[in-house]
Amino acid sequence: MGNQQGQTAANTMKKSTNMSTSLNHGAHELLAVKEVIGGTISLIDSMVAFSPQIQDPELKATVNRQHQFITDQYNILVEAYSTGKDPSHPTSQYKMLEQNDITYGLKPGQPKKPAMTPNDLTDECISSILLNGIKANAGAHTNASLETTNPVVRRVLADSVPNMIEMAYELSLYQNKKGYYQVPQLATQDTNQMLNSYSTLTNTMLQ
């Protein structure tokens, strides 16, 4: 009788160990990553939907390049999420083609308003929609990585954040170059005061 009980306990422990190995995700992680994957699907869907309406070849090339990268990033995350193990290949690094040139200042223009028909969706509208989608996705990746216990999924999420930031920056640079996205500045005196509001510390050991 004692041996049977011992064997049953051992089997139960073995099952529990196997389960913890295959289901190595916490509840917060599962829900947070589910939101990331859902948001990424929406972003990819938006790119597919709007791509045929883009008029500017430069914007179309940028969206196509970002779409390919995000699709691969999505596949890697789904692999890691569903298996809890390393995906088929590591997360790569997105390289934008835009130069880091920003035009500062505001110029007068027509007030913006929402589109009323599909024909009102210009390149300015489309690039703004995709830029906001990528920004939201970057935030979702960051939040999910802070809730994730699986080391592989956490690394995939964390490695994806700089890529999303880079893609958002690329679209914002495009918009700024076209005059769609204007960047105001404070007065020179106020800017200098803000920049000189802090001083560095001598790095010492805590007592």
DSSP secondary structure letter of residue 34: H
Q: What distance in Å separates the CA atoms of residue 122 and residue 92, rounded to the nearest whole number? A: 31
DSSP secondary structure letter of residue 120: G
**CATH-assigned architecture of domain 25-104+119-183:** Up-down Bundle (1.20)
Which H or E run includes 157?
Answer: helix 151-178
Residues 48-106 have pLDDT tens digits of 999 999 999 999 999 999 999 999 999 999 999 998 889 999 999 999 988 888 999 99
For tokens 């076209």, name the residue.
Answer: 178
DSSP secondary structure letter of residue 112: P
Contact 118/52 with Cβ under 8 angstroms? Answer: no
Top pLDDT among 11 and 39 is at 39
pLDDT at 3 over 90: no
Q: What distance in Å separates the CA atoms of residue 63 and residue 42, rounded to the nearest whole number? A: 15
